[in-house]
C-alpha cells in the first residue's frame, strides 16, 4: 500500500534545437526563440519557428533566411560566410 497518493503532477521539459546555442545572425534573437515576424503564426517557439542549416553549417530561423534569400537576385549566399546557400538535408 502506498503511503502517498499523487493528486496532481506538473511535468516540465527543457528543449533546444540540436547543437545550437546562439542567436540567429539575421534577427539577433536566440535560435530557440521566435524571429520578429509580426504574424501570429510564428509566436510559439519550437516547430512554429523552425531553424534550418546550410551546407556550410550555419543556422538561421527559416523565416529569416527565406526573407534574405528572397531579396537577393542572382547569388544566394550565406549571410555568415557568403558561400552559396544550400539547405542541408
Q: Is 64 in the site for other proteins (CB under 8 A)?
A: yes
Rounded to an integer, what distance in angstroms lies between the CA atom of residue 74 and that of residue 17?
31
Q: Are the CB atoms for 23 and 34 separated by under 8 Å? A: no
Among the listed ranges 9-17, 49-57, 67-75, the one in contact with other proteins (CB under 8 A) is 67-75
Question: Which of 30, 53, 67, 76 forms a contact with other proteins (CB under 8 A)?
Answer: 67
Minimal distance, residue 39 CB to other proteins, in Å: 10
Minimal distance, residue 88 CB to other proteins, in Å: 18
Segments in the chain forming alpha helices (H): 62-71
Amino acid at each position: 500500500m502506498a503511503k502517498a497518493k499523487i493528486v496532481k503532477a506538473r511535468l516540465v521539459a527543457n528543449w533546444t534545437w540540436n547543437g545550437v546555442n546562439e542567436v540567429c545572425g539575421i534577427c539577433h534573437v536566440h535560435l530557440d526563440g521566435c524571429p520578429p515576424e509580426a504574424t501570429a503564426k510564428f509566436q510559439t517557439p519550437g516547430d512554429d519557428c523552425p531553424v534550418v542549416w546550410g551546407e556550410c553549417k550555419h543556422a538561421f530561423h527559416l523565416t529569416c533566411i527565406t526573407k534574405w534569400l528572397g531579396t537577393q537576385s542572382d547569388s544566394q549566399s550565406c549571410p555568415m560566410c557568403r558561400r552559396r546557400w544550400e539547405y542541408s538535408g
